[in-house]
Amino acid sequence: MKGIEGVILAAIVTGTLGMPALAQAPEMAAVTSKPVSRTVTLPGEIQPFLNVALRARVSGYVDRVLVDRGSVVKEGELLVELSAPEMKAQIAEAESKAQATEAELAQAEAQLAAAQSTYDRMKQAAETPGAIAGNELVVAEKQAEAAKAVINSRKQATQAAQASVQTLKSLEAYLKITAPFSGVVTERFVHPGALVGPGSNEPLLGLQQISHLRVTVAVPEENVGAIAKGAKVAFQVPAYADRNFSGTIARRSQVLDQKTRTMAVELDVMNPDQALAPGMYATVKWPVQRSKPALYVPKTSVVTTTERTFVIREKNGKAEWVNVSKGAGDGDFMEVVGPLQPGDKIVKRANDELREGTTLQNPTK
């Protein structure tokens, strides 16, 4: 009898269908659905909105440097003056040549007027038979045509000379280097007497616009879909730990960095009091929002093995392994992606020892 009782007891423990039964019912939890609206902390780098190294477009000597590092300048303000005496000589020579061609043009116009007048009189006289020889009229016509050709040539020479003067004067204007935008001079590289020009790699000044800044944020791949252009984003900097700043999402690179799997996103930040400076490190409170709700389960419900990541769902009273992908954490819960539905019952504290097909006692608990 004791042997039979042992067999019956073993059958009860192992289950009537050969499946293992649980000595104690596992605690169950429900899959929940809620909108994704949270913030993640991301690093950001503050950069000037505009940044340029000013160089000389023509060769010359530095005559005056009117600004220095830290100077606040306005667009169009004179920064550096160069001197190039040989350029003045070239301009004077070109102007002299232009005046000479203009004089030649005036002389040619006078010659054309005389030749044309002679031809017109002879043509009128030729209307009277025998007044002049036909050959003389032909000669007068050819002389008028030649004078017209000379006029065209002189006009082209005059235009070329005037263009040469304008070109040299345009180059002379480059001897005065002005600010292309309002900003702050961040570097000064030259002093009076230095020879500069297009052949030199050394700039004259560094100029940055800091009243308007860019904050570049490296957004992880999983949060790229939540980027909303025009959204306000808060951030802080170590220099002002008790102060909050904000910027507007303005641009995204549209590509992921292959090494970091992040996308560069730029915020536009106004900096009227110039408290922020390019090069500062920013701690950005990045908003994560999605149009569709996400599924959440307790973190302890997610089992990860070398082969798969899954949760254990109750289906018809038995354990079912459901493959999922992990999302972001939210306190004691974790976002998951997989074939689950809100309200599904899953094992709250799961592990891979709870095999698929195991009978779950009191599955609705």
Q: What local confidence, expressed as pLDDT, does residue 15 receive?
A: 46
Q: What local confidence, expressed as pLDDT, does residue 14 receive?
A: 47
In what helix (H) or strand (E) does residue 270 lie, and over which residues does it extend?
Answer: strand 262-270
> What fold does the segment set 40-48+207-289 form as a domain?
Elongation Factor Tu (Ef-tu); domain 3 (2.40.30)
SS3 282: strand
Q: What local confidence, expressed as pLDDT, does residue 4 receive?
A: 46
User: Cβ atoms within 10 A of the Cβ of 92, count?
Assistant: 12
- Give the Cα separation of 78 and 50 in Å (integer): 18
- Answer yes or no: pTM beyond 0.95: no
* Domain over 19-34+292-365 is classified CATH 2.40.340.10: no
Q: Which residues contact 354 (CB under 8 A, 6 or more apart)?
A: 22, 26, 312, 319, 347
Q: What local confidence, expressed as pLDDT, does residue 365 receive?
A: 43
Domain boundary assignment for the chain: 19-34+292-365, 40-48+207-289, 56-79+178-205, 85-173
Strands 28-30 vs 60-65: parallel, antiparallel or unpaired? unpaired
In what helix (H) or strand (E) does residue 310 lie, and over which residues does it extend?
Answer: strand 309-315
Above 80 in pLDDT, residue 139? no
Q: What local confidence, expressed as pLDDT, does residue 18 receive?
A: 45
Q: How far is CA 116 from the centre of its chain?
A: 66
Summarize pLDDT for 298-350 with one digit per residue, the tens: 999 999 998 999 999 999 889 999 999 988 788 899 889 999 999 999 999 99
Structure token digits, residue 120: 């017109």
**What angle, rounded to 10 degrees, do the helices at 134-173 and 85-125 form?**
160
- Give the Cα separation of 350 and 242 in Å (integer): 43
Q: What is the mean pLDDT of the chain?
A: 82
